[in-house]
Chain A
Amino acid sequence: MAVCAVDISGVEKTYRGRVQALRGVSLQVPEGSIFGLLGPNGAGKSTLVKILTTIIRPTRCRGSLLGSPIGHKPTLRKVGYLPEHSRFPAYLTGRQVIGYAAGLGGVRVTSEEVDDLLDLVGMSGGAEDRAIKTYSKGMVQRIGLAQALVNSPRLVILDEPTDGVDPEGRYHMRNILQKLRDDGVTVFINSHLLGELETLCDSIAILKEGQVVRQGALSDLTAGSRGFQVAVEGSLPEEAASRIRGLGHSVSEREITLQGADPGPLQVVLDALRAAGVVILEVRKSHQSLEDLFMESIVEKQDLREEVQRS
């Protein structure tokens, strides 16, 4: 079994006023991977991240973060964190923010190391010596990422890291995160941008109303929905269409959809199309997108709840 950077079970959080933000969340984040935490607004994502970083105390929590119990302050020396809507002291320069984070994190950094970090996040063009209050949102996020990496963390937790970052910056940030994973660092991302997570994450968890509704490796979660799509020129002759339907595949006027990752049935369909003299335009592999999976998970939960309410 893979070693987990985060391994928690039964995490509950009830705020004053009896608002139940988390209802027994169990989560495993494999070490050295990129993990995405998804969920609609109010699902409890930020609460969970804040519990991991000791900003919020859980009502109940079992498990560990980098092998230590949740809430163990010294462990945070090995954790980097970029909060959502981060607000760094406005009177500090970008360079000073990194130094301040290092000081709070109990690490000593040389100016060369700070330069390297600024270079890594693309903030070495002179702006690093200007006060934070003059920065754009994207620049603040870049400095936020740099300060999260100043202690050479084993786990980086990023809450909406690309919020306000331009496309070039996002591309840049993606590369940084992939490089961190390659270096063995675990990256925990909390984001709404499903397309971005899909290209980055090795595993995900979907949170809905304080509960995990889906969790696992992204490839496993979308495996069941793999298949092939065949596009043809013109309308499909009725005889060929009914034959393919008879094989259990769905047929529209110009497209045939096959379920499953096995390419065997695809060959039969292609033979049938050629025999009918149909011109094949394109054959492509298909799989469920993260967005489809997300929506499916959310709707499933919604349906379940409505069913419970009805009964």
Chain B
Amino acid sequence: MRVLWVLLLDSFRMLRARRLFWVVLVLSGLIGLVYASIGFNEGGVSALFGLLAFESELFRMGTAEAKELYLLLFTNVIIPYWLGFCAIVLGLISCASIFPEFIQKGSIDFALSKPPARVTLFLGKYFGSLLFVLMQVLPFSLIVYLSLGLRFGDWNLSVFWAVPLVVLSFSFVYAVHVLISVWSGSMILGLFAALLVWGGSVLVEWGEDVSYQFAYTAPQLGIELDWEEADHDEVEPRESSEDFMVRIHWVLDAVRLALPKTRAVGGQMRSLIRVDEKGGGLAGKSLLGLLLRDPIDDIPKRHSEVERAADQRHPVWKDLGSSLLYELAVAGLALVIFVRRDF
């Protein structure tokens, strides 16, 4: 245990020595500050601590929509785009040299000649690398937690789900980098492979998402697409579209299952975050839908149900479990190579 602590401390020192780490941390802080500056008053929304004001009937102090907007900004913008994409890319760049440098001649000799087992050294370095993202997402979640508490009186600990979800998302991508860089010793090759697998899996996730909408969401909402006329007709709602689209979705869903699911982090967060005391979540809610909503009209119940079902079609445990299995396989292979190799 002490050895793991020593390795984590070393990783922290390494991060502290990197300029990129501080740049990302400052950027995270600025984004967090902008987020925290959003407030609600009697007339509507204010931003930059009251410097900008927008009138709104829907998003006013005390309305449920105001709190939803605040949370959806976190789950649908900040998590997928800043923490789930930018921070992962910057994390990859920042941590790319950890394993290639570790296994370099002269450096690996130093570590392997010490009593800790190779497995311990590998795991210490691996988990130490995850500190980069952990130290970005943890302060951010804290800012969101404090903002929610101070603005709405809702001390909502469920926002901290972002910490393991974003760190896991990074680790799914990072595992590929570790495997390739331990195998080849090349940082560039490892980075390239990680980006390739990440890009590929995001593409599959996106494809599965789109095909689901064509195969299930649209028919369930009573929308029939006319491909030749590029138009749509309103018809009687049904469970799914014709077999062809359902089959495409089935194939993409199967492929998706085997791959790391990083794009799903926003949806997972919407499922896990608690909005009210009854434990209601944000599943099925979109930021755009909320912003474009007419305050007088109520959303048809069926629409909400279909969108919630779409958002929750992949249970969090299943997405996380299968992604973790994937990571276990990839990082496990890297570990086997590391343990068996003559350096």
Give the interface of A toward B (CB within 8 A): 15, 50, 53-57, 73-74, 76-77, 79, 81, 83-92, 96, 100-101, 103-106, 131, 147, 157
- A91-B13, A96-B13, A106-B2 as given contacts; A85 in contact with B114, CB under 8 Å: no
> Which B residues, 114 to 136, have Cβ-Cβ distances below 8 Å to chain A?
114-117
The 6 closest A-B pairs by CB, nearest first: A103-B6, A91-B17, A83-B109, A87-B106, A104-B114, A53-B113
Q: Please tell me if the beta carbons of A87 and B112 are within 8 angstroms of each other in the complex.
A: no
Q: Please tell me if the beta carbons of A55 and B108 are within 8 angstroms of each other in the complex.
A: yes
Q: Which of A53, A90, A100, A104 contacts B116 (CB 8 A)?
A: A104
Contact count A vs B, C-beta below 8 Å: 86
Taken together as a complex, chains A and B put the C-alpha atoms of A103 and B112 apart, in Å, by 13
Kindly list chain B residues whose C-beta atoms are within 8 Å of the C-beta of A104.
Answer: 3, 6, 111, 114-116
> Shortest beta-carbon distance, A294 to chain B, in Å?
25
Flag B99-113 by CB within 8 Å of A: 1 or 0 each.
Answer: 000001111111111
Q: Please tell me if the beta carbons of B2 and A54 are within 8 angstroms of each other in the complex.
A: no
Q: Is B90 an interface residue (CB 8 A)?
A: no
The contact size tier of chain B is 20 to 34
Q: Please tell me if the beta carbons of B13 and A92 are within 8 angstroms of each other in the complex.
A: yes
Kindly list chain A residues whose C-beta atoms are within 8 Å of the C-beta of B343.
Answer: 50, 55-56
Kindly list chain A residues whose C-beta atoms are within 8 Å of the C-beta of B117.
Answer: 73
> Shortest beta-carbon distance, B329 to chain A, in Å?
24
Taken together as a complex, chains A and B put the C-alpha atoms of A88 and B114 apart, in Å, by 14
Q: Please tell me if the beta carbons of A81 and B115 are within 8 angstroms of each other in the complex.
A: no
Q: Please tell me if the beta carbons of A89 and B115 are within 8 angstroms of each other in the complex.
A: no
Q: Please tell me if the beta carbons of B114 and A76 are within 8 angstroms of each other in the complex.
A: yes
Residue of A nearest to B3 (CB): A104
Q: Is B10 an interface residue (CB 8 A)?
A: yes
Chain B facing A: main interface SS: helix
Taken together as a complex, chains A and B put the C-alpha atoms of A84 and B113 apart, in Å, by 12
Taken together as a complex, chains A and B put the C-alpha atoms of A100 and B121 apart, in Å, by 13
Residue of A nearest to B340 (CB): A57
Q: Is B342 an interface residue (CB 8 A)?
A: yes
Q: Which of B6, B109, B342 contacts A53 (CB 8 A)?
A: B109
Taken together as a complex, chains A and B put the C-alpha atoms of A105 and B116 apart, in Å, by 8
- A87-B104, A87-B106 as given contacts; A106 in contact with B10, CB under 8 Å: no
> Shortest beta-carbon distance, A256 to chain B, in Å?
51
- A15-B342, A87-B107 as given contacts; A55 in contact with B14, CB under 8 Å: no
Kindly list chain B residues whose C-beta atoms are within 8 Å of the C-beta of A55.
Answer: 108-109, 112-113, 342-343
A-B CB contact pairs (8 Å), 27 listed = A54-B112, A55-B112, A55-B342, A56-B343, A76-B114, A81-B110, A86-B106, A86-B107, A86-B110, A87-B105, A87-B107, A87-B110, A88-B107, A88-B110, A89-B10, A89-B107, A91-B14, A91-B18, A100-B10, A101-B110, A103-B2, A104-B111, A104-B114, A104-B116, A106-B2, A106-B115, A106-B116
Residue of B nearest to A93 (CB): B13
> Shortest beta-carbon distance, B135 to chain A, in Å?
16
> Shortest beta-carbon distance, A56 to chain B, in Å?
4
> Shortest beta-carbon distance, A45 to chain B, in Å?
14
Taken together as a complex, chains A and B put the C-alpha atoms of A268 and B105 apart, in Å, by 60
Taken together as a complex, chains A and B put the C-alpha atoms of A14 and B5 apart, in Å, by 36
Flag B310-343 by CB within 8 Å of A: 1 or 0 each.
Answer: 0000000000000000000000000000000011
Q: Please tell me if the beta carbons of B14 and A89 are within 8 angstroms of each other in the complex.
A: yes
Q: Please tell me if the beta carbons of A83 and B106 are within 8 angstroms of each other in the complex.
A: yes
Q: Please tell me if the beta carbons of A76 and B2 are within 8 angstroms of each other in the complex.
A: no
Q: Please tell me if the beta carbons of B113 and A81 are within 8 angstroms of each other in the complex.
A: yes
Taken together as a complex, chains A and B put the C-alpha atoms of A88 and B18 apart, in Å, by 16
Q: Please tell me if the beta carbons of A105 and B115 are within 8 angstroms of each other in the complex.
A: yes
Taken together as a complex, chains A and B put the C-alpha atoms of A84 and B109 apart, in Å, by 9
Taken together as a complex, chains A and B put the C-alpha atoms of A157 and B14 apart, in Å, by 28
Besides A54-B113, A73-B117, A103-B6, 8 more A-B contacts (Cβ < 8 Å) are A50-B342, A73-B115, A86-B110, A87-B105, A91-B14, A91-B18, A92-B10, A101-B110
> Which B residues, 13 to 45, have Cβ-Cβ distances below 8 Å to chain A?
13-14, 16-18
Taken together as a complex, chains A and B put the C-alpha atoms of A279 and B183 apart, in Å, by 73
Taken together as a complex, chains A and B put the C-alpha atoms of A87 and B105 apart, in Å, by 8
Kindly list chain A residues whose C-beta atoms are within 8 Å of the C-beta of B3.
Answer: 103-104, 106
Q: Please tell me if the beta carbons of A57 and B113 are within 8 angstroms of each other in the complex.
A: no
Q: Please tell me if the beta carbons of A83 and B110 are within 8 angstroms of each other in the complex.
A: yes
Taken together as a complex, chains A and B put the C-alpha atoms of A91 and B109 apart, in Å, by 18
Q: Please tell me if the beta carbons of B106 and A105 are within 8 angstroms of each other in the complex.
A: no
Kindly list chain B residues whose C-beta atoms are within 8 Å of the C-beta of A88.
Answer: 107, 110
> Shortest beta-carbon distance, B339 to chain A, in Å?
10
Taken together as a complex, chains A and B put the C-alpha atoms of A85 and B104 apart, in Å, by 10
Q: Please tell me if the beta carbons of A105 and B114 are within 8 angstroms of each other in the complex.
A: yes
Q: Please tell me if the beta carbons of A85 and B106 are within 8 angstroms of each other in the complex.
A: yes
> Shortest beta-carbon distance, A274 to chain B, in Å?
61
Residue of B nearest to A50 (CB): B109
Taken together as a complex, chains A and B put the C-alpha atoms of A85 and B105 apart, in Å, by 8
Taken together as a complex, chains A and B put the C-alpha atoms of A216 and B233 apart, in Å, by 95
